[in-house]
Amino acid sequence: MAVLIITFFVIGLSFGSFLNCLVYRLANKKTILGRSYCPHCKHQLSWQENIPVFSFIFLKGRCRHCHKKISWQYPIGELIMGILFILPLREFLSPGVFLFSPFFILNVLTEWTLYFGLIFIFIFDLKYMLVSDKVVIPVIVLIFVLKLITFSLNHQEFLPQFFHLSLAILLGVLFFALQYLITRGKGIGLGDLRIGALAGVIFGQWQMLCLAIILSYLIGSLVCLGLIAVKQKKFKSYVPLGPFLVVGIFITYFFGEMIINWYF
Ligand SMILES: [Zn+2]
């Protein structure tokens, strides 16, 4: 078990490193291929300088070449991904789960994909106020396909599950599309439609989808009121919705059933 936890953690760290690199390169319209380098002086990183989290500690948060500060986004993003990637192992807390069973493997892949997508949206939207199609759409498609394979493993329920999943995606998109039309594109971006689709494919049922949206708006309003109160933001300034949606989706993903059972 310890070996599994460490392996999953290391895979998570590596994907976290890849994610940070992807954020930088997509935002700056650089090619995704090629070795990692310092964004300030373009000095290519050796493998010792490119180990997730450890290099940051070892280099004391500065580039070895130009001594410019390395953003905290790097180690924190990597660490969060490392921790999230361990979470599918919680399945083993309930009896009757076998490692290497197709269900388990599909579940791990689905969860990893959605963690990657959500953390990417969180960082990217917070930093650049954009939702990048190049990551979000492949993530949606991949989760959709993984779920269809999972459904097809228990044949009898394939059609109703397929129906619910498609309906949830449609509802997720429609919710934001309506807002987009009503506000005429002010306050909501087309990128949020994709997050709606992502929430739909993650939950596959409208109850959880609604809960995620309600929580996002609740948290978003509270944070905005807080920011206005401490005068960090003016009343009309723009706050990206994506990070709040991600937080709402995460809370619903882990505690949604608990919240719904408790409330109803
Ligand atoms: Zn440098």
Ligand 1 centre distance from Cα of residue 38 (Å): 5
This model's pTM is above 0.85: yes
CA of 44 to the centre of ligand 1 (A): 9
Counting DSSP H helices and E strands in the chain, the numbers are 9, 0
Residue 230 Cα to ligand 1 middle (Å): 35
Gap between the Cα atoms of 63 and 194, Å rounded? 36
The pLDDT assigned to 63 comes to 92
Distance of CA 117 from the midpoint of ligand 1 (Å):
28
Q: Give 7-30 pLDDT, tens digit per residue.
A: 999 999 999 999 999 999 998 888
Distance of CA 190 to the CA centre of its chain: 18
How many angstroms is it from 41 CA to the middle of ligand 1? Answer: 4
- Under-50 pLDDT residues of the chain: none
Q: How many angstroms does the Cα of residue 31 sit away from the middle of ligand 1?
A: 19
Strand pairing partners for 44?
Answer: 37
CA separation for the pair 55, 77 (Å, rounded): 14
Q: How far is the CA of 65 from the centre of ligand 1 (A)?
A: 5
Among residues of the chain, what percentage have pLDDT more than 90?
A: 55
Ligand 1 midpoint to CA 62 (Å): 8
Instruction: State residue 187's pLDDT score.
Output: 67
Give pLDDT, residue 92.
80
Gap from CA of 67 to ligand 1 centroid (Å)? 6
